[in-house]
Amino acid sequence: MTRAVLIVEDDADQNEMLAQLLLRRGFSVVQTYTGNEGVTKAREQPPDLLLLDLMLPDIDGFEVCESLRSHRETNLIPIVMATALAESNHRLRGFRVGANCYVIKPYTMEQIYDAVESALAWKQKMIQGRVQGEFSFELASETTYLIEVNNLLSQLLLITPLDEKSAGQLCRALLEMGQNAIEWGNRNQVDKLVKITYRLHPDRVELAIRDQGGGFDPKRLPHAAQENDPIMHLNIREVLGLREGGFGLLIGRGLVDELRHNETGNEVTLIKHFPPGRLAKVQQTN
């Protein structure tokens, strides 16, 4: 069966050159010239591969990649970014929004072919379920880094048995608890790290968030909302001179199936169970 490639590149000459390279490898080719057109085509008929420029006349390639990675129907499209943006921060951002490979212009034919094969191999591994059962991220105590990690995890959750609503709830809970770790655990000290661990089990997925603070007793938080009286804490926060808020734990509990703290109180684990009859394939790592 002929594999389909979608090219999103606004430069007509570059677009045609990529098309000819892929035609030589037996792909069928769809050529588009704007980001929005590329997103529309990918959603209408998900291709086997996407070649994506970053500097486009409407939305940029980062937005295209992030948009496709955030939906289950397009989440597994292998994406190769081919761009003139050579700076390391652009490359890093490309991988953070979900690109599989990053090729810098002017590229060679071999570089394109190598990137294509690597991206296609990634999809095959995902389909076969050969994804690690556990891995971790460590990030500085800044909200921007937390959002980037959350975006990566949201893509990964879409290939678990969770539906989109449940995956979205888990990611929202991660943002709430991650912000608590930054603000209360690490006291907004950028040099202190927040560790986020993803664990995939046959019947559930877990996200653990650990800060480097001294911990707390979750049962004794007068400045945080409680289930029996969710607004009582607002007066206490006013007396203490704290900003409005304190709803993070309450919101987090409402978004997941289980929320657990370690004994120290500097780690919280968010748990979502898979629907009955839908189990995950987990690769056991040594």
101: phi then psi, degrees, rounded to nearest 5: -145, 155
CA distances from 27 to 20, 46, 116 (A): 10, 14, 11
- Given this model, what pLDDT does residue 279 score? 81
CATH topology (fold) of 134-273? Heat Shock Protein 90 (3.30.565)
pLDDT truncated to tens, each residue of the chain (286 aa)?
Answer: 799 999 999 999 999 999 999 999 999 999 999 999 999 999 999 999 999 999 999 999 999 998 998 788 898 899 999 999 988 788 878 877 888 899 999 999 999 999 999 999 888 877 665 555 787 888 899 988 888 888 778 877 888 899 888 998 999 899 888 988 998 889 899 999 999 999 888 899 999 999 998 886 555 544 444 445 444 433 433 444 444 444 456 677 888 999 998 988 899 999 999 998 888 766 544 3
- Given this model, what pLDDT does residue 72 score? 81
Alpha carbons 153 and 159: distance in angstroms, whole number: 10
For helices 143-157 and 164-180, give the axis angle rounded to 10 degrees. Answer: 160
- Given this model, what pLDDT does residue 183 score? 87
- Given this model, what pLDDT does residue 282 score? 64
Of 219, 195, 158, give the one whose Cα is nearest residue 269.
195
CA distances from 3 to 29, 36, 47, 99, 120 (A): 9, 22, 8, 19, 11
- Given this model, what pLDDT does residue 249 score? 66
- The residue type of 145 is Y
Q: Where in the chain is the domain with CATH 3.40.50.2300?
A: 4-127
pTM of the model: 0.61
CA distances from 33 to 38, 40, 115, 151 (A): 7, 12, 21, 26
259: phi then psi, degrees, rounded to nearest 5: -135, 120
- Given this model, what pLDDT does residue 233 score? 35
**What are the strands of the beta sheet with 193-200, ordered from one edge?**
134-140, 193-200, 204-210, 267-273, 258-261
Alpha carbons 161 and 275: distance in angstroms, whole number: 7
Q: Where in the chain is the domain with CATH 3.30.565.10?
A: 134-273
Q: Which two tokens stand for residue 25?
A: 């490898």
Name the CATH superfamily for 4-127: Response regulator (3.40.50.2300)
- Given this model, what pLDDT does residue 218 score? 59
